[in-house]
């Protein structure tokens, strides 16, 4: 009886626990990408300086992701800037960086297929990625520094 119980725990319960914990990572990662893309888009349109907008948006996204994952924002920002696991991209800027333009930002993170629940951030391996986009509009009456809107 003791041997059967040990075998059941080792071969059934522990892998099932790891599988369930891994499956629960997807909704939280999707939520993280949604929050980060919304924060980045909001920061992008609030800066009112086309040269600083990208930097501000990346910092806002890194802060949002770091707050959710409990990691260092500087490390996440480095991953975004160097093409690491977490990707940041401005996928659409209608009419350039001008009043009334819409800015769309996509944040992409790896989707862990299997995680080690006994360590912090213990992704064992990933197969796919999760991404979310958010769109914000630059205020129609914004006074943008360095704009090329033809006014």
Tokens of 22: 């891994």
The pLDDT score that the predictor gives to residue 126 is: 60
Q: Which residues pair with 112 in a beta bridge?
A: 126
The pLDDT score that the predictor gives to residue 39 is: 95
CA distance 106 to 50: 18
| pTM for the predicted model, two decimal places | 0.76
- Return the top range by mean pLDDT from 56-65, 88-97, 111-120: 56-65
Q: Which residue, among 48, 82, 42, 45, has the nearest Cα to 63 in the 3D structure?
A: 42
Structure confidence at residue 114 as a pLDDT band (50, 70, 90): low
The pLDDT score that the predictor gives to residue 150 is: 56
CA distance 132 to 61: 12
* pLDDT for 151 beyond 60: no
Tokens of 81: 């800037």
Tokens of 135: 């769109």
CA distance 98 to 68: 32
Cα–chain-centroid distance for residue 43?
Answer: 14
Cα pseudo-dihedral 114, 31, 44, 97, rounded to 10: 90
pLDDT digits (tens, 9 = 90+) for 20-75: 776 777 788 889 999 999 999 999 999 888 778 889 999 999 999 999 888 888 88
Structure confidence at residue 82 as a pLDDT band (50, 70, 90): confident
The pLDDT score that the predictor gives to residue 117 is: 57
Q: Which residue, among 75, 72, 61, has the nearest Cα to 32 in the 3D structure?
A: 61
């Amino acid at each position: 009886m003791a041997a059967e119980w040990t075998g059941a725990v080792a071969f059934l319960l522990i892998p099932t626990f790891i599988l369930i914990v891994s499956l629960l990572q997807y909704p939280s990662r999707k939520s993280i990408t949604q929050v980060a893309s919304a924060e980045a888009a909001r920061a992008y349109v609030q800066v009112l300086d086309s040269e600083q907008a990208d930097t501000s948006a990346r910092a806002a996204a890194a802060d949002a992701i770091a707050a959710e994952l409990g990691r260092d924002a500087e490390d996440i920002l480095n991953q975004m800037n160097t093409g690491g696991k977490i990707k940041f991209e401005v996928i659409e800027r209608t009419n350039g960086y001008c009043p009334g333009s819409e800015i769309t930002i996509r944040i992409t993170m790896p989707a862990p297929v299997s995680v080690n629940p006994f360590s912090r951030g213990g992704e064992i391996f990933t197969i796919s990625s999760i991404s979310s986009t958010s769109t914000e509009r630059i205020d129609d009456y914004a006074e943008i520094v360095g704009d090329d809107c033809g006014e």
